[in-house]
Structure 1
Amino acid sequence: MSDWTPKLNPAVDLRRLPLNAEEGFVLSRLDGHTREKDLPALTGFPPDKLRDILTRLVSQGALLPGTEAVGPVNTVRPEAAPAPSTEPRAPSLDASDTEPLPEAEATDSADDEAGPVDDVPETVQGDYRKLFETRLHALPEDQRVALAHGAEDPELSALCFDPVPAVIKAVLENSRVGLAHARLIARHHRNPVGLEALVARAAFAADTGVRRFLVRNPQLPAALFRRLWAMRRLMEHHKLTVDRDVPEQTRRTARELLRQRFSTGPSEEKAELILNTEGRALGALVGMPVDGKTTSLLCGRTYRSPMLVQNIARWSAAPPALIAHLLKQELVRRQPQLRMMLARHPNAPADAKRT
């Protein structure tokens, strides 16, 4: 085989191509760096068969011809390629004229960890599911377990749709299993025992795609979620609490963890959470006070967002120093309704209440 490095065509939407399971699997293994001659070891396909698959993918427009030079492509789905980071900005210690990010920008999706959501096109996943339902599901459980231990794709990916935990455990013990299979299991398996087995593999538990699909899985146990997310950043907890794709029971646990982490987390994260959500996160933090360092960080800002000021004015635990700082802001001076809200706060300075 040649030294050609297959690379995805960024101008083509792979979801619209009539890909079969083998073609989709090969696409899921391409990273824009691996040469053609190294792909047999990565995919398990013999060189001749792999060459035929690559030729078909080029003819369909999924891959760029070997003569074109392009930048590295890391995912099968172009729209999921790495984008500029949306990681919330930490607030500075000095006064800044920069306003907090709008929440639409500050909150990405359930797992902040920006990255590819999936590396197998939906059409290919449908092929895997169909293969399982039509050919594999009818086999006795012990036969599916035995098959899972030594299966290759597309059967290995199809077995990721098996509802029986024993089969999922066998899939995870297969030497050919990879992140694409782990993401299929996290997304489609509906038994807590199988999900526990998946998370037991540290490399899989740390993967962005696996974590993102796990928090959307309605069968994710609360204890397992706590174990995975207990020490995540406050912004990441908040994102889960407002993500409508996350089941309500997981969102409820996320709200509990958010309050626990807010009481013990770093001051920088607390200020970041309040500023970058324009105070919307405070609705889940009723009665939760902040420490002196957090207050100092919040007071080191110039405020230009009416929404942020209103949400802080409704926060019963807002520290007196912050209320006093807000009353001095030009924004508040120009808008009597904001000044009135702050003046009515129980922690407002006495002279503000008299005016």
Structure 2
Amino acid sequence: MNDWRPKPIPLTALARLPLTAEEGFVLSRLDGATPVRHLTALTGLPPERIQAIIARLLTLGAVLPPPTSAAPPPTPAPAASTPATPPETPGEPLEAGEEEDAGGPEDENAEAHAGTFRQLFERRLHPLAADERARLARESGEPELSALCFDPVPAVIHALLENTRLGLAHARLIARHHLNPVGLEALCGRAAFASDAGVRRWLVRNPQLPAGLFRRLWGGRRLMEQFKVAGNRDVPEGTRRTAREVMRSRFGTAPAEERVELILLTEGRVLGALMGLPVDGKTAALLCGRVYRSPLLIQNLARWSAAPPALIAHLLKQEAVRRQPQLRQLLQRHPNAPADARRGD
């Protein structure tokens, strides 16, 4: 049973469960990928306490039972040699920025866990003086460590960053809930945190993310990743506007293959945000080397004022255009259409 990987039940109303801060902390570390034997090192709690908490979470229906039995697992062996770092989010980060708009049950569970830590902060820690909270931030373990991630004072966040127990799980809490640009800048001063997919996902949804910090973190990322931030309705409008500006700036210097990828994967929807930006010969050649079957993509390319003449001529030869007169007419009216095409040849 030490190899059992407890997994929270996504549809459980976790926020309504009568959990203590300690139980909520352990539950927040269960991801379906971390074995029971690692929980002692991950949480800093003794094995017998882990056993009791897991048993209670099973009783409350907060986690799925072990595959072979619904009984609580036996006491896990200590894992003193395992590094005491929070577990990673299951699975690899999605390519091209898809992590920026990830969501669903994982987010619901995270919100329930965060509520437990927020309560602890508001009821027991917030009434303390800021200097005392900073001292606790440097020295405390769980659950106070996670609770202090909700502190609105940047000095406390700086103190948290000095705590050797601070890990990615805490960095994600800060990225999501800390509403001071100074604290967010300090968080992203750690390269390991700034490059984490979960931290980035919550940073772009934080309304206090400074535009300058976004430019530093996303300016060199792939065009598709920038596009996904610009089009994500969960992202504040100010950050979406900055993402569009960054995307336009990078489009002028990105490799031709990356430009083509952006246009094709968005079916040309991105072209409205790229008005006035020309493309080089290699980008045009790559676009002309494809067969086009999507009416939406052809329509968006036909409305793109910077579409090269060779691309318009290539699109007019596509079978999808021959079958749909409205697409052919749209292409014929393009200012870069060949003269014989405009005459209705």
TM-score range, shorter chain: 0.7 to 0.9
Once the two structures are superposed, residues 260-295 of structure 1 have per-residue CA deviations (whole angstroms, 9 ceiling, x without a partner) of 111110111111111111111000000111112211
1:251 corresponds to: 240
How big is the shift at 1:7?
1.3
2:26 corresponds to: 26
Q: Distance in 2 between matches of 1:87 and 1:34?
A: 23
2:200 corresponds to which of 183, 191, 211? 211
Tell me, yes or no, if the aligned pair for 1:214 and 1:220 is still in contact at 8 Å.
yes
Alignment of 1:272 onto 2:235: no
1:64 corresponds to: 65
Q: Distance in 1 between matches of 2:288 and 2:105?
A: 37
CA change 1:32–1:241 in 2 (3 A) is closer
Aligned residues: 326
Alignment of 1:7 onto 2:10: no
SS of corresponding position for 1:278: coil
- For 1:110, give the aligned amino acid: E
> What RMSD, in angstroms, separates the aligned Cα atoms of the two structures?
2.8
Alignment of 1:47 onto 2:74: no
Question: Where in structure 2 are the equivalents of 1:69-108 lying within 5 Å?
Answer: 82=91, 87=95, 108=98
CA change 1:10–1:128 in 2 (3 A) is closer
Tell me, yes or no, if the aligned pair for 2:257 and 2:286 is still in contact at 8 Å.
yes
Alignment of 1:310 onto 2:290: no
How big is the shift at 1:57?
2.4
Q: Distance in 2 between matches of 1:270 and 1:291?
A: 10
How big is the shift at 1:117?
6.1
How big is the shift at 1:11?
5.9
SS of corresponding position for 2:150: coil
Tell me, yes or no, if the aligned pair for 2:219 and 2:246 is still in contact at 8 Å.
yes
CA change 1:117–1:197 in 2 (3 A) is farther
Structure 2 residue runs without a partner (length 5+): 70-85
CA change 1:227–1:40 in 2 (3 A) is same
Q: Distance in 1 between matches of 2:237 and 2:252?
A: 23
SS of corresponding position for 1:160: helix
Tell me, yes or no, if the aligned pair for 1:302 and 1:329 is still in contact at 8 Å.
yes
Q: Distance in 1 between matches of 2:109 and 2:216?
A: 27
CA change 1:284–1:110 in 2 (3 A) is same
TM-score, reference length from structure 1: 0.83
2:315 corresponds to which of 326, 334, 338? 326
Structure 1 residue runs without a partner (length 5+): 69-74, 89-106
How big is the shift at 1:173?
1.4
- For 1:256, give the aligned amino acid: E
TM-score, reference length from structure 2: 0.86
Q: Distance in 2 between matches of 1:116 and 1:206?
A: 23
2:224 corresponds to which of 226, 229, 235? 235
2:139 corresponds to which of 150, 164, 178? 150
Identity %: 63
Q: Distance in 2 between matches of 1:122 and 1:56?
A: 20
